[in-house]
Amino acid sequence: MSNIDNDYFFAIARAQSDYARCIDDDRLEDWPAFFEEACLYRITSAASHRDGYEASVVFANSRGMLTDRISALREANIYERQAYRHLLGMPALLGQTSAGLRTETPFMVARIMQDGTTDLYATGRYLDIWNLKGEAPKIVERIVVCDSSRFDTLLAIPL
């Protein structure tokens, strides 16, 4: 593994860690800034992804759509306050494409209910393409592949 790879690893690992903290700290308004203006954000299931379906539970192809999503979430979420905790594995560097650096990063997300109950809310992996040309890496494309196909509650927060 070359020093360049190590530098990329650090840059991506730090960006992923910041991304997770942004959501877990409930600073959702800052979340779209992790993405390029023109971007792709999809949440799908492992089964759909494996079968090559393009259907997504959540789909956005611009930073503006992500901002709108957060606004809607803030308006809707006037009932119960839940908390989330992301834990991410090490990013795997999968190679350079013309769009940017492709990586895969596994995750587990715990959900903490108002009454303190904690459960494993979602597991899966981020399939990402990163633009590394700016100061901090920006997400060009993030496909969130959830291991489970049960998505009823998955519509709530960004993953």
Q: Is 27 in the site for a copy of itself (CB under 8 A)?
A: no
Q: Would strands 35-45 and 138-146 be described as parallel, antiparallel, or unpaired?
A: parallel
- Contact of 127 with 107, CB cutoff 8 Å: no
CA-CA distance, 20 to 137, in Å (whole number)? 14
Q: Is 132 in the site for a copy of itself (CB under 8 A)?
A: no
Q: What is residue 82's DSSP assignment?
A: -
> Of 33, 72, 76, 90, which lies in the binding site for a copy of itself, with binding defined by CB under 8 A?
90
CA-CA distance, 142 to 159, in Å (whole number)? 10
From the CB of 64, what's the least distance to a copy of itself, in Å? 28
Residues 34-73 contacting a copy of itself, CB under 8 A = 46
Helix, coil or strand: residue 83: strand
User: Where along the sequence are the contacts to a copy of itself (CB under 8 A)?
Assistant: 1, 5-7, 9-11, 13-14, 16-18, 20-21, 24, 46, 83, 85-90, 92, 104, 106-108, 110, 112, 115-125, 147-150
